[in-house]
Amino acid sequence: MSTVKRRKGKSRIAFPKDYCVVDIETTGLSPEECEIIEIAAVRYRNGVKSEVFNTLIKPQNPISAFITGLTGITNDMVNDAPDISEAIKAFYDFAGNDMLMGYNVNFDINFLYDNLLRCHGIYLENDFVDVLRFARKVLPLMPDRKQTSVAAHYGIEIKGAHRAEKDCEICNACYIHLREEMRRLETEK
């Protein structure tokens, strides 16, 4: 369990019209010990996809067979990719002041925050929305609320999941369905 106190943005329960969905792929679960190997961010304006940022990242250590099996990202694919310092700054510049959104987004935010601070001394202070929180509220009886399970529940195509840009698109589709269900539940009260 991490004891790092982060000066990150606030987690919001909100339905923004303008936001940036983010997703990363990593070599493991710990921001202190593992590396980011892919970052994607998809900007939405008034609910419409307007711009995409996507980059592979060359890690300092080889990508394990397990991670390659999960993500499809190979060591050959990242050979000529930028290092984390260049990639994280490009992501930061792309995201600007946008509200960030993701699925179990604290995982992504912590990796992005730690790497941005380590590489550039910059705090990632964007507020963020976690779509998983909506899934827990709207779908309490589902056996699990993994993004792919929620997507399957709504008939959202999941082919290509576990690649960052595709996961951003899946997350946004889940967000739209969950937002509509939450609004419907509120009007029924």
Residues tagged active-site: 162
User: Of 71, 69, 70, 73, nearest to 58 (Cα)?
Assistant: 73
Q: If you ran DSSP here, which 8-state letter would residue 99 be given?
A: P
By DSSP bridging, strand 48-56 and strand 19-26 are unpaired
Count of C-beta atoms within a 10 Å radius of residue 126: 21
Burial 50-85 (b: 16+ CB within 10 A, else e): eeebbbbbbbeeebeeebbeebebeeebbeebeebe
Q: If you ran DSSP here, which 8-state letter would residue 64 be given?
A: P
Burial class (CB in 10 A: 0-12, 13-18, 19+), 113: buried
Q: Which residues touch 51 (CB under 8 Å, ≥6 apart)? A: 42, 43, 94
Please name the amino acid found at residue 55.
Answer: T
